[in-house]
Structure 1
Amino acid sequence: MQHEYILHNDEFFTIHHPILTSSNRSFRYGDGLFETMRMSGGKLLFPELHADRLRAGMKALKIEGSVLLDEYFLKQKTAELCKKNKLRDNVRFRLSVYRNGDGLYTPNSNKSGYILEASPLTESGYELNKKGLIIDVFDEITKPINPLSNYKTSSALVYVMAGLFKKQHKLDEAIILNQNGFLCESISSNVFVVYDKQIYTPALSEGCISGVMRKVVMGLAKANDISIIEAQLNPEVLREAEEVFITNALGGIRWVMGYGRKRYFNEVSKGLSTLLNNL
């Protein structure tokens, strides 16, 4: 039977091997961050964008070693883990980086540690979902706006609670609001709204994750003379919009079919999805 492995600080361990202690700072305090990446056709997608966000996030958290976790590191380590797990074409990766040291709230060290995980994907490309998503707005807890809001930190309770809300109401996705009550993002994706034939997305100043696929889609739009406006968006726009779609590095572009009794089209998301796959 083939064992599955993870990569922990450059060493391979089977996935069930205990590697973290109860004093691990990511476990105790959420003192870390992560990147979720995709390999398609044996090629790691957008490694430079993931490396840029990882580097910026580590600097924001004052975790050392960001220079070493560059694009080359991501390509090299994901390739090593694929070879060890005998994975080839389409793979999902999660790289978790944590502050590796003792201390209570105040760390004794700012050195970094990491864990890289891999699992196979069935889809070979960014296929647009055939069935549109059903969403609702999660407003029980809002996301704060601060210098760490744009990074995928290990402090993820707002997303966990939104996930429980999604499960309770049998939704496909839930939209999270920021501390001022404006649209921020969904549980796992950035949000785009087509209103009056114009595409809008929450600005980074609204506290959303600086998504890799968000940047890719905005770049595609610019290259094809499609205007996308970063703005502050009232959740009421969801009731008036012609389209809503969400994006992340794993799923690409996914269109939304319904919000309450509101139903949406998918013409714009379909066009952008074609452009994405042409990459």
Structure 2
Amino acid sequence: MPQQYLLLNDEFHDVEIPVLTASNRGFKFGDGLFESMRMIDNKLQFADLHADRLVGGMKALKIDGHSLMDDYFIRQKTSDLAKKNRWNGNARFRLSVYRQGSGVYTPETNKGSYILEGFALKDAQYQLNNKGLIIDVYDEITKPINKLSNFKTSNALLYVMAGIFKSQNRLDEAMILNQSGFLCESISANVFVVYNNQIYTPALTEGCVSGVMRTAIMQIAKMNDIALIEAQINPEILKEAEEVFITNATQGIQWVMGYGRKRYFNEVSKYLIEKLNHL
């Protein structure tokens, strides 16, 4: 297999060689955030939305250097990494930003650093899963609602615990509730529910991540005169809904087949992913 590289602060490094130390604040304190992105046919998808969320998150965490993290920057760096690794123009990326320096809880500096890594993909478009997902609700730990809730921070223990719950119960995905017991998101995606011929998704005020694909689906719905409502959603609606699907920036749309004894359709999911691939 050809040698593969990642980018650390504009410098290429072999992915097999360690580049961080034990004093790294992202490792010690989860002091950072990240973006998961997808390139299709050499074009980074929704670069402007990723840049907006990244800049907003860096500002919220008071990490310096956010003015440099615009859509031009992430387009350029992902393109450079794809060329260095000789990928075919279809790839998945993770851009991690962390606060430099050591110290304990109080940082010695607010200067930011970044690592860009990724791997090649075969598909040149978003693919709807052939087999629907089986889900359940994870309620042992709930997600707090605060000014950081809408960003993809490096503090991911809630999602790790939900992932363990998923594995132990042989599920494909698990739904996460917010501190008030309402539907928030899944382990790795935003949630959409089709009920009485309308699409609902948890509002950002419910503590969900402000997903890039969530925004894209909302734009597609608006362009096609489809009713889509941001709301506070009781998880009991999962027992009555006609359809449930989840979205994220790398997979696009994934439809849910079952929740307990409940079974769902995927007509809306099929329609939306077709529109997504035509964007």
**Under TM normalisation by the shorter chain, which class is it?**
over 0.9
CA distance in 2, matches of 1:128, 1:104: 45
Residue matched to 2:106: 106
Instruction: Please give the per-residue CA displacement for 1:103-160, whole angstroms capped at 9, x wherever unaligned.
Output: 2100010000000001011222111111111101011111111000000000000000
Does structure 1 retain, via aligned residues, the 8 Å contact 2:90–2:124? yes
Residue matched to 1:5: 5
Residue matched to 1:43: 43
Does structure 1 retain, via aligned residues, the 8 Å contact 2:82–2:89? no
Q: After the TM superposition, list the runs of 4 or more consecutive aligned residues in structure 1 that deviate by more than 6 angstroms.
A: none
Residue matched to 1:195: 195
Q: Partner letter of residue 41 of structure 1?
A: D
Deviation, 1:200, is 0.4
Matched position secondary structure for 2:159: helix
Matched position secondary structure for 1:236: helix
Residue matched to 2:185: 185
Residue matched to 2:163: 163
Matched position secondary structure for 1:200: strand
CA distance in 2, matches of 1:86, 1:273: 28
Residue matched to 1:132: 132
Deviation, 1:100, is 0.7
Deviation, 1:102, is 2.0
Residue matched to 2:229: 229
Deviation, 1:88, is 2.3
Matched position secondary structure for 1:22: coil
Segments of 5+ residues of structure 1 without an aligned counterpart are none
Matches within 5 A, 1:1-279: 1-279=1-279
CA distance in 2, matches of 1:134, 1:235: 15
Matched position secondary structure for 1:67: helix
Aligned residues, how many? 279
Q: Partner letter of residue 97 of structure 2?
A: V
TM-score by length of 1: 0.99
CA distance in 1, matches of 2:233, 2:256: 17
CA distance in 2, matches of 1:50, 1:114: 15
CA distance in 2, matches of 1:12, 1:259: 45
CA distance in 2, matches of 1:17, 1:128: 36
CA distance in 2, matches of 1:183, 1:20: 36
Q: Partner letter of residue 197 of structure 2?
A: K
Q: Partner letter of residue 136 of structure 2?
A: D
Matched position secondary structure for 1:255: strand
